[in-house]
């Protein structure tokens, strides 16, 4: 159920096209601060409600990052095993269908199952380079493949771990764009990645995994479980290991009432969007486990989108992400601790205040 409140959603569109079989959704949640910004989720099960929840997260995320963007998100149904040609036709049809509101009220970006190639198709079908970000470099883009989100997640984890006095062993769920770059940047600043999972399972080595080797193995064999210097576990075990920090970097609702009690880590940094259910957030809070929420931790993606939108370069992107994500991680820790509230609630409180002020 999508509930409307003072913040939105302003528009919910469902679009389809019989010729290509395209079927998708767009939710423009709130445009008080600017056009709604949010990626296109390309999965087989995406639906309007999921898109709304993600759009709302974007509303908070853009307000917290102090960007001139509102919140939105879209979803395009892409079945598993679809050919590249069919996918291209669907992306193009989706782009044409959204043209009346894109880029005027919605600016797209990559999300799950989507990268610079899809953004090129989207921008060309819309015929405006401003219709999306995450385009290839030769189209003026700062591609998703630079790893800006994972870079921000790593900085957020670093600030939180240092402020809260938490150790350096990290377990990561999901080894795609966010998971790989978070692992890479964290390893570079002295953290030990002890476990990584993907949809095929989890690889665990308490002595540490070699991140570059793991990235090559994932690329070559499509799964981290083929890394041969570690124990292969069921994917769900990634949350139950003796890690100091957990980074969910895959799909929604993965930490829930069934596993929140089993988590041993003292810090969770949400690389993925809405990876923790409301009931799990309560459990984690009561157990003293600190969660840096998605709207702060993975804001690197949207900050990079903003730099692309204003014609900036790679160096400016990384500098802005580091500054904003580190500052906001500190802000959320202080706010949550001072008010003794959940960090998610602290983030929403600050974002709401900024949007209400802008509306005045």
Active site residue 130: no
In the complex, the smallest distance separating the C-beta of residue 339 from ligand NAD, rounded to whole angstroms, is: 26
- Name the site residues for ligand NAD (rule: CB under 6 A): 111-113, 144, 149, 173-179, 197-199, 235, 249-251, 271-273, 298, 301
When the beta carbons of 160 and 249 are compared against ligand NAD, the nearer one is 249
In contact, 72 and 37? CB cutoff 8 Å:
yes
| Smaller CB separation from ligand NAD, 144 or 285 | 144
Least distance between ligand NAD and beta carbon 128 (Å): 21
What's the N-to-C CA distance of the chain in angstroms? 29
d(CA 164, CA 154): 15
For residues 61 and 89, which CB has a smaller minimum distance to ligand NAD in the complex? 61
Q: Which residue's Cβ lies closest to ligand NAD?
A: 176
* CB 360 to ligand NAD: min, Å: 29
Catalytic residue among 37, 61, 73, 342: 73
CB of 120 to ligand NAD, least distance (A): 16
Return the number of the residue (141 or 235) whose C-beta is nearest ligand NAD.
235
**Nearer to ligand NAD by C-beta: 86 or 253?**
253
Residue 352: name the closest of 49, 5, 53 by CA. Answer: 5
CB atoms within 10 A of CB 220: 9
Three-class SS string for the chain? CCCCECCECCEEEEEEECCCCEEEEEEEEECCCCCEECCEEEECCCCHHHHHHHHHHHHHHHHHCCCCCEEEEEEEECCCCCCHHHHHHHHHHHHHHHCCCCCCCEEECECCCCCHHHHHHHHHHHCCHHHECCCCHHHCCCCHHHCHHHHHHHHHHHHHHHHHCCCCEEEEECCCHHHHHHHHHHHHCCCEEEEEEECCEEEECCCCCCHHHHHHHHHHHCCHHHCCCCEEECHHHHHCCCCCEEEECCCCCCECCCCHHHCCCCEEECCCCCCECHHHHHHHHHCCCEEECHHHHCCHHHHHHHHHHCCCCHHHHHHHHHHHHHHHHHHHHHHHHHHCCCHHHHHHHHHHHHHHHHHC
User: Residue 290 Cβ, how far from ligand NAD at the closest point, in Å?
Assistant: 20
Q: Which is nearer to ligand NAD, 78 or 96 (CB)?
A: 78
Least distance (Å) between residue 93 CB and ligand NAD: 22
Least CB distance to ligand NAD at residue 6 (A): 25
Q: Nearer to ligand NAD by C-beta: 232 or 341?
A: 232
- Indicate which residues carry an active-site annotation: 73
């Amino acid at each position: 159920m999508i509930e409307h409140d003072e913040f939105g959603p302003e528009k919910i569109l469902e679009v389809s096209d019989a010729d290509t079989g395209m079927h998708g959704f767009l939710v423009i949640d709130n445009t008080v601060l600017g056009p709604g910004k949010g990626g296109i989720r390309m999965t087989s099960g995406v639906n309007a409600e999921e898109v709304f929840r993600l759009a709302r997260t974007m509303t908070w995320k853009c307000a917290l990052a102090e960007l001139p963007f509102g919140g939105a998100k879209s979803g395009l149904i892409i079945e598993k095993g679809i050919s590249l040609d069919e996918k291209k036709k669907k992306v193009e049809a989706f782009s044409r269908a959204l043209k009346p509101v894109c880029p005027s009220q919605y600016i797209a970006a990559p999300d799950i199952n989507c990268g610079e190639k899809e953004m090129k198709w989207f921008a060309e079908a819309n015929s405006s380079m401003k219709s999306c970000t995450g385009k290839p470099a030769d189209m003026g883009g700062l591609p998703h493949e630079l790893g800006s989100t994972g870079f921000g997640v790593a900085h957020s984890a670093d600030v939180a771990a240092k402020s809260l006095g938490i150790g350096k062993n990290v377990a990561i769920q999901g080894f795609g764009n966010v998971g790989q770059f978070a692992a890479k940047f964290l390893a570079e600043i002295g953290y030990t990645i002890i476990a990584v999972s993907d949809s095929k399972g989890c690889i665990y080595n308490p002595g540490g995994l070699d991140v570059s080797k793991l990235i090559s193995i994932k690329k070559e064999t499509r799964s981290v479980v083929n890394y041969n210097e570690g124990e292969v576990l069921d994917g769900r075990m990634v949350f139950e290991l003796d890690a100091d920090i957990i980074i969910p970097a895959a799909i929604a609702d993965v930490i829930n009432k069934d596993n929140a009690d089993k988590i041993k880590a003292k810090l969770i940094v949400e690389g993925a969007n809405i990876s923790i259910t409301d009931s799990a957030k309560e459990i984690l809070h009561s157990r003293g486990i600190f969660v840096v929420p998605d709207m702060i931790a993975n804001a690197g993606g949207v900050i990079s989108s903003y730099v692309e939108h204003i014609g900036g370069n790679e160096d400016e992107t990384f500098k802005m992400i580091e500054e904003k994500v580190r500052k906001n991680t500190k802000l959320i820790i202080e706010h949550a601790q001072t008010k003794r509230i959940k960090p998610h609630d602290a983030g929403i409180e600050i974002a709401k205040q900024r949007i209400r002020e802008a509306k005045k």
